[in-house]
Amino acid sequence: QQQVKQSPQSLIVQKGGISIINCAYENTAFDYFPWYQQFPGKGPALLIAIRPDVSEKKEGRFTISFNKSAKQFSLHIMDSQPGDSATYFCAASRSSGNTGKLIFGQGTTLQVKP
Amino acid sequence: DAGVTQSPTHLIKTRGQQVTLRCSPKSGHDTVSWYQQALGQGPQFIFQYYEEEERQRGNFPDRFSGHQFPNYSSELNVNALLLGDSALYLCASSYRTARETFGSGTRLTVV
């Protein structure tokens, strides 16, 4: 019940295209769903996050879509750029304030071709 | 404003040895969490420290222990190292509604 499943494992997109990464969770007690971006040799950096009371959140070129009934959420990267090439992780936590441990997906390696 | 600082950046240890990793949280953060990230995998939660006490623990054996100091910095200790302990160890700090900021990690190689 603690798993977060992420797909695809890898993704190749042309510059200017849309990158879509999907995640599914099992524990309905999760109430915080962030996406992290990780470059080689670096720690994960928070990109965008959503709580289950909204179905969509947009920040610049990054959008999270959230489907509570299906227990799924996805990251859309619009106008993908070569600089977006990185590994992306979805995560979920059950939290009050910031006390919840993060459960991460397996990661998606994104390559954006020029 | 310094982010999360971890030391050392790389470490090579022999099987059976003990290792200590260190973390200084982001300024203003009082909670420190440790994660293990195996190659090609997502980070896995080890434990979390708040007010110098372990507040939560993931599914890791007792060989993994930690400590938080009054200045909020933290250490992760691993005893009796196994080859399978080779991974990137990440420290994340947070404060109330300010969610986790991760450090760049310590790459541990056990030979």
Question: Greater confidence, B96 or A32?
Answer: A32
CB within 8 Å of chain B, chain A residues 41-100:
41-46, 49, 89, 91, 97-99
Contact list in A for residue B105 (CB cut-off 8 A) is 42-43
pLDDT (0 to 100) of residue B99? 81
Based on the number of CB atoms within 10 Å of its own CB, is A2 exposed (0-12), middle (13-18) or buried (19 or more)? middle
Residue B96's pLDDT band, with cuts at 50, 70 and 90, is confident
Q: Determine, for residues B33 and A34 on separate chains, whether the beta-carbon distance falls below 8 Å.
A: no
pLDDT (0 to 100) of residue A94? 83
Q: Average pLDDT per run of 10 along chain A, which is 114 residues long?
A: 89 98 94 94 93 94 96 98 98 73 95 96
If you average pLDDT over residues B59-72, what whole number do you get? 97
Q: Determine, for residues B104 and A41 on separate chains, whether the beta-carbon distance falls below 8 Å.
A: yes
How close does chain A come to B96, measured CA to CA in Å? 5
